[in-house]
Structures are given as C-alpha cells and as structure tokens.
Amino acid sequence: MGAETGTGTTGGGGGYRAVLFDVDGVLLDSLPAYRRIWDAWARLRGLDTAHVWDRTFGRRPEDTVRDVAPALDPDAERLVLNALMHEQGDAFPAADGAAELLTALRPDRWALVTSGSRGPVHRRFALGGLPLPGVQVYGEDVRESKPHPEGYLLAARRLGVDPRHCLVVEDAPAGAAAGAAAGCAVIALTLSHPPGAFPGATLHAPSLRAAHAAITGMLAADEA
C-alpha cells in the first residue's frame, strides 16, 4: 500500500523543493527501544506507562517530564533517562527504505528536524549507514519544541526554501502539527497513530518505504 491523500492542502504535485524529515520513527526504527526506556522511567516514578508514552511523541524529553510530572526537575530526569538509554543501548536500526530514499535526494534539498540531540543522532546514523544532510535542527537549537513550528521554520530558512515549498515527513501528531503550522505540506506515517490523528496532513502512508514514490514525485524535477 502506498500513500493516500489526506485532508490538508497542497500546492500541487511536483512543485516542492525540499524535504524536512523527523528522525525517530521516521528515519530510525527507534520506537521499540524508546518505549522500553520510557516505561522503565515511568515505573521508577510511579506513573502510568501508557499515559507517559502517549506524551512522548515528537517532544523533547524535558517537555514530556514537565507534562507528566511537573513536580520533578526536567534536567535531573533527563540524566535518569540518559542512564536508562545507556543500559538499553542506542544502536537503533535505520528504518526500512531510509537509506534508499535519502541517497535518492539531493544533499542540499533535505534536512533533519528532530527533538533529539545532535550527538546521539550522528552516532545512530553512522551505525545505520545513513547519510547526514548539511542542514540539521536539533532540540537544543530551538526554544520551542514541536508542536511549535520553530524547528521547521529554521530548517527551511537554512535551506533557503520557502516553507510553503517544503514537504515534512512525520510520524507524530505533534510533529505533523508543527509542520502544518510552519506552512509546509505534511506526509504523515501512520506507524503508531491512525490517520485521524493527523488532520492537517496532505498525505498518509503506512511506512517510509510506502511514501518513497510520493515524496520523490512531489519534488520539482530538478530537486530530486
């Protein structure tokens, strides 16, 4: 199954000039490991694991902590989460189809926009055999995390492309909302949330591989 049209608006196929990718769950198959880490943290703090997990998608760890446990120190809890990550290991595999898609795109016409941190992403991309683009926006680069559009607006500006001519590829409702708020077209991967969780998406796809043809087809001929 390929991509299916959503309810958002689009400027027309073949006219986009850049692709802005979320990382976790989109380019890296990191969700199973993150679920184990967040579940372990929630149990340590006496919190409901399902409630905590639902608040993690597309957000910085500190923002999740502020949401689910406002009495705790977010910076201190980030250290606890880092320790749990170290115990689990962080060699997350590349998502199916990620390498083929990224190598098919011009290096100056795609970017990363993630709530994660630079060091771990670089390490995981190297282990997964994925290329890195020239433009990368991390959680530490912005004041406001997703669903705020700051990260996507910053990536578009660094690429020199109007946000209206950018495609955003996301698997989290908060990230998709950020892309839509930035004025970008959004391709939502329905890996962990149903299509209805992405009301502003231009397209829905069940996986990155299924979205490959749509992504390359929506780019201007000289940008792919």
Number of domains in the chain: 2
Q: Give this prediction's pTM.
A: 0.84
pLDDT score at 11: 41
Are residues 12 and 52 located together in one domain of the fold?
Answer: no
CB-hemisphere CA count at 13 Å for 93?
4
pLDDT at 87: 84
Residue 224 inside a domain? The answer is no
DSSP-based three-state secondary structure for 19: strand
Active site residues: 22, 24
**How do residues 146-169 score in pLDDT, each as one tens digit?**
999 999 999 999 999 999 999 999
Domain hosting residue 45, numbered range: 31-88
223: in domain: no
State the average pLDDT over residues 125-144: 95
Confidence class for position 190, pLDDT limits 50, 70, 90: very high
The pLDDT mean for the chain works out to 91
Q: Where are the alpha helices (DSSP H) in the chain?
A: 31-44, 49-54, 61-68, 74-88, 98-104, 118-128, 150-159, 173-181, 208-218
What is residue 165's predicted lDDT score, i.e. its pLDDT? 98
> What CATH number is attached to the domain comprising 214?
3.40.50.1000
Asked whether residue 41 is domain-assigned, the answer is yes
CA 56 to chain CA centroid, nearest Å: 12
